[in-house]
Amino acid sequence: MSDLSNQRRMASDILKCGEGRVWLDPASEEQLAEAVTRADIRRAIKSGAIRRQAIQGTSRSRAKQHAREVAKGRHQGPGSRRGTPASRIPRKERWIRRIRAQREELAALRDSKAITPSVYREFYRRAKGGMFRSRAHLKMNLKLAGHLKEEA
């Protein structure tokens, strides 16, 4: 077993890669031991006794498998959760849920004649501006403004 570290170093320089990516043919070991000049190394590269190995990337197969399982609802237990319940739902999704509920509430009140269309429109715009935290907050504001009667 010859020390081919010098040949490996020269080859890495010629092949423009790291020494770890230089493949030296074990069958041509004696021939490579005699290769002392850069020209000898170039000849060895041409003959195929020295090659540059492909870059080995990080396999995504485990990550893809995990993503497929998460899509099915696995790995979602309390031990896998990081962040508050609110931070796990996107801000926009939270907004959509909240505004739809408030608009549904306003439409129901208008349709049941509990509020007038002008009050509906006024509070619809306020809801759009993000004034109310929830349906309950919306109803509380309607009552405080005197547009909604206290329920018995």
Structural domain contains residue 32? yes
Residue 143, C-beta contacts closer than 8 angstroms, at least 6 positions apart:
149, 150
Q: Report how many domains make up the chain.
A: 2
The CATH number assigned to the domain holding 105 equals 1.10.1200.60
Closest CA to 141 of 108, 104, 112, 105: 105
- Burial of residue 40 (number of CB atoms within 10 Å: 0-12, 13-18, 19+): middle
**What pLDDT, on a 0 to 100 scale, did the predictor assign at position 1?**
72
Please check whether residue 118 lies inside any domain of the structure.
Answer: yes
pLDDT at 151: 61
Q: Is there a contact between 147 and 115 (Cβ–Cβ < 8 Å)?
A: yes
Domain that holds residue 135: 91-144
150 falls in which pLDDT band (50, 70, 90)? low
Is residue 95 scored above 80 in pLDDT? yes
Does any domain span residue 29?
Answer: yes
Output the domain CATH number for residue 23: 1.10.1650.10
Q: How many Cα atoms sit within 13 Å of 78 on the Cβ side?
A: 0
User: For residue range 1-48, what is the model confidence (pLDDT) as tens digits?
Assistant: 789 999 999 999 999 999 999 999 999 999 999 999 999 999 999 999
State the average pLDDT over residues 136-146: 97
Residue 124, C-beta contacts closer than 8 angstroms, at least 6 positions apart: 103, 106
Question: What pLDDT band is residue 80 in, cutting at 50, 70 and 90?
Answer: very high
